[in-house]
Amino acid sequence: MNIEKRVKELVEEKIADKPHLFLVDVKFHSNGKLMILVDGDNGIGIDECVAISRHVGFHLEEENVIETAYNLEVSSPGIDTPLTLTRQYTKNIGRNLAIKMADGAKREGKLSGITEDAVIIEETIKNKGKKAETVESVIPINTITETKVLISFK
């Protein structure tokens, strides 16, 4: 049985009645750590993480899915976790992003929108001898290798 697949099913089952919550990722590491990342359109509370953890843990034990000792951890993605889902982008509209492109280029800008297959950012372009200008850029998601939210401490 595929552990990660079963865990995804259990999480989806538990959050089915909570449309504001969504599963970001499930990873079972070789050291026995089972990481479940869940987020919400307005964040996720500790109580919701605990409820998911109990539900998943109970069923994994009941079904004896994992035969070795393991450590179950349910949390929201940390601020340094790259964005992977459209819903994560939507939640971060208005924030500044650092984007790594497939061609190795790096781009930064304020997320102004998201479509089914592209990210829209406002980025500042500096042209030699001219004033820097802010332009709206549409970046196809399939050309992005990683997107992270930039934290401002201003």
Q: Classify each residue of 54-87 as buried b or exposed e, where b means 16 or more C-beta atoms within 10 Å of its C-beta.
A: ebbeebbeeeebbeeebebebbbbeeebebeeeb
Q: What is the pLDDT of residues 110-154, one digit of tens each?
A: 999 999 999 999 999 888 888 889 999 999 999 999 999 998 777
Helix (H, G, I), strand (E, B) or coil at 43: strand
Helix (H, G, I), strand (E, B) or coil at 29: coil
Compute the distance between CA of residue 140 and CA of residue 114 in angstroms, rounded to an integer: 10
The predicted structure's pLDDT at residue 65: 87
Q: How confident is the model at residue 1 (pLDDT cuts 50, 70, 90)?
A: low
> In this structure, how many other beta carbons lie within 10 angstroms of the beta carbon of residue 110?
17
Q: What is the mean pLDDT of residues 88-113?
A: 95
Which of the four CATH numbers 3.40.50.280, 3.30.1490.20, 3.40.1410.10, 3.30.300.20 does domain 3-75 have? Answer: 3.30.300.20
Q: Measuring CA to CA, which residue among 134, 80, 136, 132 is closest to residue 113? A: 136
Length of the chain: 154
Q: Confirm if 124 and 109 have CB atoms less than 8 A apart.
A: yes
Q: What is the mean pLDDT of residues 84-91?
A: 92
CATH number of 86-149: 2.30.30.100
Pairing of strands 96-101, 144-149: antiparallel
Q: What is the pLDDT of residues 3-49, one digit of tens each?
A: 999 999 999 999 999 999 999 999 999 999 999 999 999 999 999 99
14 residue type, one letter = K
The predicted structure's pLDDT at residue 128: 83
Strand ranges for 76-143 from DSSP E: 96-101, 106-114, 118-125, 133-140
Q: How confident is the model at residue 79 (pLDDT cuts 50, 70, 90)?
A: confident
What are the boundaries of each domain within the chain?
A: 3-75, 86-149
